[in-house]
Amino acid sequence: MAGIKDIAKKTGLSVATVSRVLNNSALVSKDTKDKVLKAAKKLDYQPNLMAAALRSGKSKIIGVVVPEINNSFFSKIINGIEQKANAHNYTIIIAQSRESKEKETKAIQSLIQSKVDGILISISKETDDFDIIHSLKSNGMPIVFFDRPPPVKNVNEVVFDDYKGAYIATEHLIKQGCKSIIHIAGEPKVSIHRKRKNGFMDALKKNSYSLSESSIIYLSMNESEDTKTIQKLYKSQNSFDGIFAHGDESCLYLLNILKTIAVDVPKNVKMIGFGNKKFSRLTQPKLSTIDQRCLEMGEIATSRVLELLKPKNEISVKTKILSPKLVIRKSSFD
């Protein structure tokens, strides 16, 4: 593999001059720069990133920790992160916690050992101890949280307005004429799911709708069990004609259950999800949903960590809240 000395030999320039060109110095002429870059390309020169990192103290790498890479929500965010990072000559290393606080801690430690310049994190469902976050903060590591921030003061975060998204989704069902609406809720220990439940409840209260125990449903994800639960509720005195589900995956799951018990969507029951996943446009009927602006979330979080990497005397802590977008499709519109 060609090195700086090989380029110097081919161009007849000094090693110092070649080095200045490759480090984008303004102290060289355009002709010299063109000569060096042409030779570097011809010799297939590959910069030694590790050596450059040791010299500059910067690896030009950003670490990213997500609960699941194969979740389309997080994969969209990663796309936004990568696009923004690459545009600023940074690369990313991705690690996944698989919703485990132990794996999350190991992932963060591994990224630190890899000398990343900054870290972007969406915390796992299991995470209930934030010692490593406090440690990162106290050691000056540029860190930005996205989607699921920890309950820690003075952290940079980019989040989605889950409460408002749920409120808008529920109000949409009310406007479509639904008289009895239920919420298929997510795991209560996850803050975004609690916010969605609260948005649902407040939308009902504001519109003078009654709330009962059967208004909030937690599914077991055992299809046989859940089919019995939904069928029993649908045939009961507290029957429903509208469903707001905490995620598009739950909507898809419910579509199959309702089809099994011969309930037509949207004729008998109108339904809206959350997330605007790709498959939501492919179901029958197509799913109404709330768009979480994932790509933007990734780009904004990356912009913030890049801002934290700039040498400044004082950098204020920022919270960016993204507003929801209602996407109306056939599942909620008869």
Which residues are paired to 145 by β-bridges?
121, 157
Asked whether residue 178 falls in the same domain as residue 121, the answer is: no
Residues of the chain under the 50 pLDDT cut: 49-50, 53-54
Number of structural domains (the chain) is 3
pLDDT tens figures, 281-296: 999 999 999 999 999 9
> Do 128 and 105 touch, CB atoms closer than 8 A?
no
Measured between alpha carbons, how far is 2 from 190 in angstroms, rounded to an integer? 52
Q: What are phi and psi of 55, to 5 degrees?
A: -70, -40
- pLDDT at position 113 is 86
Q: Decide: helix, strand or coil at residue 121.
A: strand
CATH assignment of the domain containing 309: 3.40.50.2300
Cα–Cα–Cα angle for 303, 308, 309, nearest 5°?
95
**53 located within any domain:** no
Strands of 151-194 (E only): list them. Answer: 156-160, 181-184
Asked whether residue 41 falls in the same domain as residue 119, the answer is: no
For residue 93, what is the enclosing H or E element? strand 91-96
Asked whether residue 89 falls in the same domain as residue 207, the answer is: no
Q: What number of CA atoms fall less than 13 Å from residue 210's CA on the CB side? A: 8
Tokens of 247: 């995620």
Asked whether residue 156 falls in the same domain as residue 166, the answer is: no
pLDDT tens figures, 193-202: 999 999 999 9
- pLDDT at position 48 is 58
- pLDDT at position 43 is 83
- pLDDT at position 314 is 62
Closest among 118, 117, 121 to 107, alpha carbons compared = 121
Asked whether residue 167 falls in the same domain as residue 283, the answer is: yes
**147 located within any domain:** yes
> Do 64 and 78 touch, CB atoms closer than 8 A?
yes
Find where tokens 């309950």 sit: 151
Asked whether residue 129 falls in the same domain as residue 179, the answer is: no
**247 located within any domain:** yes
Residue-level length of the chain: 334
Find where tokens 């916010």 sit: 195
**52 located within any domain:** no
User: How many Cβ atoms from other residues are within 10 Å of residue 90's Cβ?
Assistant: 22
**282 located within any domain:** yes
pTM of the model: 0.76
> Do 294 and 133 touch, CB atoms closer than 8 A?
no
Measured between alpha carbons, how far is 96 from 64 in angstroms, rounded to an integer? 8
Asked whether residue 190 falls in the same domain as residue 303, the answer is: no
Asked whether residue 303 falls in the same domain as residue 265, the answer is: no
Residue type, 237: Q
Q: How far is CA 181 from CA 103, 175, 306, in A?
A: 38, 12, 44
Provide the residue range defining the domain that includes 244: 162-292+327-332
Q: Is 128 exposed, middle or buried (0-12, 13-18, 19+ CB in 10 A)?
A: exposed
User: How many Cβ atoms from other residues are within 10 Å of residue 126's Cβ?
Assistant: 16
Q: What are phi and psi of 160, to 5 degrees?
A: -105, 145
Asked whether residue 301 falls in the same domain as residue 275, the answer is: no
Tokens of 19: 């080095």
Asked whether residue 127 falls in the same domain as residue 183, the answer is: no
Q: What are phi and psi of 90, to 5 degrees?
A: -110, 150
> Do 100 and 126 touch, CB atoms closer than 8 A?
yes
pLDDT tens figures, 103-146: 999 999 999 888 899 999 999 988 888 888 888 887 888 999 99
CATH assignment of the domain containing 12: 1.10.260.40
Measured between alpha carbons, how far is 107 from 124 in angstroms, rounded to an integer? 12
Closest among 327, 328, 310, 305 to 136, alpha carbons compared = 305
